[in-house]
Structure 1
Amino acid sequence: MNQAKGTLYIVPTPLGNLGDISQRALNVLGEVALICAEDTRHTGQLLHHFSIRTPTQSLHDHNEKQKAAFILGKLEGGLNVALVSDAGTPLISDPGYTLVSLCREAGIKVVPLPGPCAAIAALSASGLPTDRFAFEGFLPAKQGARVTELEALSEEPRTLVFYEAPRRILDTLADMESVFGPERQVVLAKELTKTFETIHGASIAELQAWLKEDSDRQKGEMVLMVAPAPKTDALPKAAVTLFMALAQDLPRKKAATLVAEAFDLKKNALYNLGLEG
């Protein structure tokens, strides 16, 4: 007789305030056979608070590839499993991608529970445009790679949302100032739902000064949001460069059409640029 496969539940946990956990999340954590946790000690404190005795298994960035197959075996054997991270929604700059991908490929049912997410909570209170945004997670730790990534985002028309470590926040803002300019508006949300929750908006230059005024302001879990690039009639540099290169070997009209499709631009503006050139 074929045994029914288990279900993998994606369970968000509080960012700090334990009152934010849902009743459904508590029910799932108490009923599954196993909880996969980023840090079993950290999750153990949460489970102890709510008197949940479900066994836990570590699943973090350094062991996920090795543990995912083991957990998949449990699910294929009919056991239900919950996946949690230290705080917020799993997989959002947290472990779980490998496991969820394997489950989807194997036909294991994956059920997401709604709940806390630092990026969404911060964005909702930022005062920046929320109709379109780009979540970029953590920027590279090394300056060269970080600057390169920021340069690629310098003309992004959507609000940018980053996670950042306290020890790197000043370095990141310094790089943002050099790439985006000192006047670009940013909002820093830190310690969300906790005692010292702070949401502070300013220009990049002003935010750096504010953080330097008090070292305590540089502590805590951080979400850094950047206003969209100012609208301009100028064509993106990358589009102009590509058009000029293609126009060397293709008719201007064809080059303009290809670049316009790639960058979502009006081809007439590119075609006219070619005539001017």
Structure 2
Amino acid sequence: MANLYLIPLTLGESELNTVIPDHHREIIHSISHFVVESIRTARRFLKKMDQAIDIDSLHFYELNKHTDKNQLHAYLDPIKTGLHVGVMSEAGCPGVADPGAEVVRIAHEKGIRVIPLVGPSSILLAMMASGMNGQNFAFNGYLPIKKDEKAKQIGLLEKRIYTENQSQLFIEAPYRNLQLLDDLLANCQPHTKLCIACDITLDTEFIKTKSIAEWKKQKPDIQKRPAIFVLGR
């Protein structure tokens, strides 16, 4: 019986053996069809996993914001013929803050076994390292771009920290990191805690938790670096 495998990628140019188990190579060698967010990224990752892999013999189906959703069912057709299918995100774990979740949903509807493989998740790693409540937390994706809407959303998220004791995680496009940080410093209470986690698993990794008041004294250099932000108490 063929399966749908969820294959994590590195979060950047980190060494594979530090974040990806060796056992994944054996599984990847059994897969010839991949649903991926970026074909270029997927090909690079697979070649890094094994230089001897015959990339040109593999089949890639792109799944991103430009994909026609009517095609998704067909992406799983190889499983009908006994061929495994793999799902890969642009970085980290597929299906988490990632369009691959749509294919996973269809697989469950079709009764296909879904097998998630171990690998790095920036969301969980940031939560682990934040020192904030990991029993109750929410990932909110991107905050609104418009300044007034963003300020309102920050206020709502901060309120949930204190009314529900729920840590709040979110991300931003790397080139807007400093703008988001400025908005957080302007709209959050001085004693609210903020964890900034950049370049997770890379040599340049930066993870610090401080109060809003402390961050105001010295802002970190996080512009154009992949980051997770965590608000808590």
| Residues 1:53 and 2:57 aligned together | no
Give 3-state SS (helix, strand or coil) of 2:141's partner. Answer: strand
Shift of 1:210: 3.0
- Residue 210 of structure 2 aligns to a residue whose secondary structure is strand
> Higher strand proportion, which one?
2
Counterpart selection for 1:190 from 192, 195, 198? 198
Map residues 167-206 of structure 1 onto 2, 5 A cutoff: 167-206=175-214
Partner amino acid, structure 2, of 1:136: N
Other-structure match for 2:74: 70
Q: Is the 8 A contact 1:38 1:60 kept in 2?
A: yes
Is residue 165 from structure 1 mapped to residue 185 from structure 2 by the alignment? no
TM-score with structure 2 setting the length: 0.84
Q: Is the 8 A contact 1:133 1:158 kept in 2?
A: yes
SS of the residue corresponding to residue 107 of structure 1 reads coil
**Counterpart position of 1:223:** 228
Q: Which deviations, in whole Å up to 9, do the C-alpha atoms of 1:11-34 show, x marking residues without a partner?
A: 112223222111232222221121
* Offset of residue 220 of structure 1: 1.0
Q: Residue 27 of structure 2 aligns with which residue?
A: 28
- CA gap of 1:217–1:8, structure 2 versus 1, over 3 A, is same
> TM-score, normalised to structure 1's length?
0.72
Is 1:14 equivalent to 2:10 in the alignment? yes
Report the CA distance shift for 1:145/1:91 in structure 2 as closer, same or farther (over 3 A). Answer: farther
Matches of 1:126 and 1:174 in 2, distance apart? 20
Q: CA shift at 1:208, angstroms? A: 5.1
Contact 2:20–2:118 under 8 Å retained in 1: no
Which whole-Å CA distance do the structure 2 matches of 1:178 and 1:211 have between them? Answer: 13
Residue matched to 1:40:
39
Task: Report the structure, 1 or 2, having the larger helix content.
Answer: 1
Identity within the alignment, %: 30
- TM-align CA RMSD: 2.2
Flag structure 2 segments of 5+ consecutive residues without an equivalent.
none
Shift of 1:178: 4.2
- Partners in 2 of 1:224 and 1:206 — Cα distance? 15
Match of 2:225, SS?
Answer: coil
* Alpha-carbon separation, structure 2, partners of 1:28 and 1:142: 44
Identify the residue that residue 123 of structure 1 maps to in structure 2: 127
Q: Counterparts of 1:89 and 1:77 in 2: how far apart (Å)?
A: 26
Which residue number in structure 1 is paired with residue 117 of structure 2? 113
Task: Confirm or deny: 8 A CA contact 2:194 2:209 kept in the other structure.
Answer: yes
Q: Which moved more, 1:161-170 or 1:141-150?
A: 141-150
Tell me the secondary structure at the aligned position of residue 224 of structure 1: strand
- Further displaced range: 201-210 or 88-97: 201-210
Q: Which runs of 5+ in 1 are unaligned?
A: 229-277
**What's the CA shift string for 1:181-223, capped at 9, x where partnerless?**
23311110100111211112222344355336xxx43231101
Q: Structure 1's 128 and 141: CA in aligned 2 closer, same or farther, altered over 3 A?
A: same
SS of 1:46's equivalent in the other structure is: helix
**Could you tell me how far apart the structure 1 residues matched to 2:45 and 2:80 are?**
27
Q: Between Structure 1 and Structure 2, whose CA radius of gyration is higher?
A: 1
Mark the CA change 1:15 to 1:62 in structure 2 (over 3 Å): closer, same or farther.
Answer: same
Aligned residue for 1:256?
Answer: none
Q: 1:85 maps to what in 2? A: 89
> Is contact 2:198–2:225 with CA below 8 Å preserved after alignment?
yes
